């Protein structure tokens, strides 16, 4: 079999989005997980829409029929110091490890040609082999995100404080109060702590958004916390994710983290989802301990790696 044709894309367009979507659908069918993060997919969509977002894309196509068998993307969301990249390769398409290397090499070369800088590379289902592979490209491990899963429905609660009253998120009304609570809860967090109205509006426009699965808890006349869920209907098995859970710092110490997690999982079970899922930073040992105590177990680790890449020399 001839090796795939790897090339840097001059400009993102709707055809590229369609091709990437098709590739990701195949990856999800084979591996049961998303091949590309939500952040990368949003960045690609915004680039096609003509925003100022800078996206560097590299494709690998089967020379026989031109179909996409691999893809790499780097984007910086307007912040050159926060460039992030991912590589996805279709399983069963030949030497996947070699194709991963070719895509990463091409993406890194294009990034350096554009001026270089610090680059964060995310690898899903990371392991020692991943560490060794990306290490040969100059990347060092930085951060682990653990994906935890649990069977639904949960066993009945054993304590009264494991249950709190929640209501549906009211689109067009709750955004300002929720943003205050979220940004206070995640102050200093690299992804979650700087949301604005445009950020939440973009999520509300996603096809998966369901306001009924966005559970709000009020206390003392304020929005004290929330559990926002997301259903991955095309995953195998379908997954119900605890997408964002936040508790205002003024209400910490009341057990709301556990109770709101349960509220979200109970809602997911009520719509027929049999597997709950969430991501937690491995460094957040208190949260990891909480979720394990609720019956979650580790499914896999997604790991970020970083490298300082100098500009290319002509």
CATH code for the structural domain at 153-273 = 3.40.630.30
Q: What is the pLDDT of residues 53-99, one digit of tens each?
A: 578 999 999 988 888 999 999 998 655 567 999 999 988 655 888 99
Q: Beta strands of 37-170 (E only): which ranges?
A: 55-61, 68-75, 83-89, 117-123, 140-151, 167-168
pLDDT attached to residue 33: 65
Query: How many CA atoms are closer than 13 Å to the CA of 295, on its beta-carbon side?
Result: 14
Q: What is the pLDDT of residues 271-298, one digit of tens each?
A: 999 999 999 999 999 999 999 999 999 9
SS3 content of the chain, % helix, strand, coil (to 5): 35, 30, 35
Whole-angstrom distance between the N-terminal and C-terminal Cα of the chain? 35
- Does residue 303 contact residue 130 with C-beta atoms inside 8 Å? yes
| Domain boundaries defined on the chain | 5-144+303-309, 153-273
CATH class for the region spanning 5-144+303-309? alpha beta
Q: What is the pLDDT of residues 101-139, one digit of tens each?
A: 999 999 999 999 999 999 999 999 999 999 999 999 999
pLDDT attached to residue 54: 78
Calculated CA dihedral for residues 127, 241, 202, 22, nearest 10 degrees? 60
Rg (CA), the chain: 21
**How distant is the alpha carbon of residue 172 from its chain centre?**
25
154 is written with which tokens? 């949960």
> Three-class SS of residue 108?
helix
């Amino acid at each position: 079999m001839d090796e795939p044709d790897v090339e840097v894309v001059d400009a993102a367009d709707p055809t590229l989005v369609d091709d990437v979507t098709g590739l990701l659908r195949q990856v999800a069918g084979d591996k049961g997980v998303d091949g590309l993060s939500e952040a990368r997919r949003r960045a690609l969509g915004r680039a096609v829409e003509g925003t100022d977002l800078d996206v560097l894309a590299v494709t690998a196509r089967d020379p026989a029929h031109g179909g996409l068998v691999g893809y790499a993307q780097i984007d910086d969301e307007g912040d050159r110091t926060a460039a992030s990249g991912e590589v996805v390769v279709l399983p069963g398409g030949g030497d996947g490890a070699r194709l991963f290397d070719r895509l990463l090499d091409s993406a890194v070369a294009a990034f350096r040609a554009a001026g270089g800088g610090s680059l964060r590379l995310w690898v899903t289902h990371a392991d020692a082999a991943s560490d060794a592979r990306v290490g040969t490209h100059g990347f060092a491990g930085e951060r682990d995100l653990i994906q935890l899963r649990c069977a639904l429905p949960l066993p009945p609660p054993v304590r009264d404080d494991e249950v709190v009253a929640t209501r549906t998120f009211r689109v067009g009304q709750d955004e300002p109060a929720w943003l205050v609570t979220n940004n206070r809860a995640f102050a200093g967090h690299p992804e979650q702590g700087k949301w604005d109205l445009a950020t939440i509006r973009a999520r509300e426009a996603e096809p998966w958004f369901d306001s009924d699965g966005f559970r709000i808890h009020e206390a003392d006349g304020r929005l004290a916390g929330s559990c926002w869920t997301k259903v991955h209907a095309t995953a195998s098995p379908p997954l119900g994710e605890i997408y964002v859970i936040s508790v205002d710092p003024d209400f910490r110490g009341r057990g709301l983290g556990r109770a709101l997690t349960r509220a979200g999982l109970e809602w997911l079970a009520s719509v027929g989802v049999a597997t709950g899922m969430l991501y937690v930073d491995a460094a957040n040992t208190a949260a990891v301990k909480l979720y394990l105590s609720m019956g979650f177990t580790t499914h896999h680790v997604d790991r970020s790696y970083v490298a300082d890449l100098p500009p290319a020399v002509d």
